[in-house]
Structure 1
Amino acid sequence: MPEIAPVPLSQLTTLRVGGMPRRMIEAATTDELVAALRDVWDDGDRWLVVGGGSNLLFGDDEFDGTAVLVRTSGIERLPSPHPGRVRLKVQAGHNWDDLVAQTVAAGLSGIEAMSGIPGTTGAAPIQNVGAYGQEIVETLVEVELIDEATGEVSVVPASDLGLGLRTSVLKKHYGSVPERSAVILSVTLELTQVGHGEVPVRGAQLRSALGLEPDAAVSLAWIRETVLDIRSRKGMVLDEDDHDTWSAGSFFQNPIVSAQFAATLPPEAPRWSMAPEPEADRVIPLDRFDGFIPPRADGPAPVKISAAWLIEQAGMRKGFRLPGSRASLSTKHALALTNRGRATAEEVAALARLIQQRVQSEFGVLLQPEPVLFDVEL
């Protein structure tokens, strides 16, 4: 068993808060990870899995349980049944942004807009990670996971994971337990071979973020470089010397509301329709036509609104902090709660509670946290 001397979780999380676990295991291979989890579950111990620690707010007190560090890595290229596509099986502990860089270098499209997101690949499906309108649900084929209830390893198709806006059946939402308690061992993605030339950019939100016209064509490398620049200017790319990046990224989800509710907001409030991209005309061969044509959705589509805009309009500007607190909003982006140096988890939580209260009072919207909260309350 690859057991190591415990260190405080503040050393392993990007928010740099968190107490000391009683026990710590570092798994460098899938076999070690499976064995460690089965051992912990057989003992009935409290447990926590840590990958990149970028989506975790852990409490200040000592953790009377086992922290399992996922340090597996590797990419296996597999054939796809679909022409022009490639499948990649990626180990759970593989650094996500390293994966994105490798796919762009190989001319594979599908995750380039998610450049710069910290964390590991195994964590990505848990909250259906996404950025600028691109989400992993669009490319995820399946995951290999181990279930706590049985200790069995199985391959689960993406369609069984309940993937939605920053959610899945595997995510421990604040105030609840996951629908399925399991740990991802590997992730299989299907990406499109587009090469290194210029290609059209799908998705209005991505085109808007990149400042592109609907008919614009750019290379994957250009998209990655531009996204990294945008995220860096917002303090969303990890930098040891920049306290604005000592965060869990976007702390609150952008709310999805009805079109009617969105219409009550000031016209300058940023918003994005959740209507799907218009479908191309479909031709169904007669020998395969069963007489059923799926109906088109009726009524106005839901609308995503900017949590950062709500926070600022509720009076909490970039850099806002409570008196005496070492936690504050980022000076670059109002959606990131940051550690300005030796902040506690409770200081971060106190700031989050105030933000929730103010936004709900001003706009009637209760912001939901994106990170997994462990032994800390909002």
Structure 2
Amino acid sequence: MSEHVLVVGGGVIGLLTAYNLAAHVDRVTLIDRSAVGQESSWAGGGIVSPLYPWRYSPAVTALAHWSQDFYPQLGQRLAAETGIDPEVHTTGLYWLDLEDEAEALAWAQRNHRPLAAVDISSTYAAVPVLGAGFERAIYMADVANVRNPRLVKALKAALNALPNVMVREYCEVQDFVLDGQRVIGVHSVQGELLADEVVLTAGAWSGELLQTLGVGLPVEPVKGQMILYKYAADFLPSMVLAKGRYAIPRRDGHILIGSTLEHAGFDKTPTQEALDSLMASAVDLLPALADATPVRQWAGLRPGSPEGVPFIGPLPRHPGLWLNCGHYRNGLVLAPASCRLLVDLMVGRDAVIDPAPYAPQDRIDL
């Protein structure tokens, strides 16, 4: 394996890619246009499941299942190494009044996932703060959420503790350095940075960077807004989801409500319209929140991609360049499997998951 790898983009995908690579190469440099983990990795809710897993292709399902099974040990390992607990918090998830409940249950049976219909009275007994009027529920007991800002902090601390890893923040990339067609580095605001291999993990900005090579990667920013409440630590015992909106409990009583889905370019400005809509959803789900005021509102940019299937693997037209991007709404969910798969491919070991569905050369305009 090559001796120096440059990872462009310091979200959870980039951080975990660098963390996995460090055991196999002499040197890893990770760069980010701002501080690491400040974009969609920070902004998301951190549910360790796609919101509606049965609506995705087998390609997303394969990554999600591997990651879900791996997350508890990842959280424990990072907490032990850094003293920062990412809080992988298993609460289960209730889906309420689904239109496609039959499809969800059939998917669960095919994929051997513990998702089942539950009596609505038992749902209200388990989640007594739930709003009135819901008629049907399905429940998956083993769904966790991860406190994504803490996951980012833990990964950054783990990288900073490794002697062969350098993290360079506020190092925006303008384009790539080429030797013929081979990518040998990047031009950045901190100057030219050269490496044996370059990995692009720049989230919503990945498509723009590949445009500088004349490569049309169908990854675009999709804005999502969320709000946060602070309530009693035992207020909400489980995650709940209805009408496309969800409530996620943290261990300390914070409740996240999300999220919007907006095509607004790279604009991350929170809006009053979204605040009103999210507060209305919060009260529908959890009426007690009518007496509370959100303590925060924010927006992030998801890396939208066709069918939410990420691009993972080499770009044959430009040797030396690897992609791990385009995870859309599921970057946190899919990160452990995606980063393991990429490193498997880079170091030439047996892939943990069939890499074919994610191969860039079969899916983009070269």
> TM-score band (shorter)?
under 0.3
Give the structure-2-normalised TM-score.
0.21
* TM-score between both structures, scaled by the size of structure 1: 0.21
More helix per residue: 2
Higher normalized contact order (CA 8 Å, seq sep 6+, divided by chain length): 2
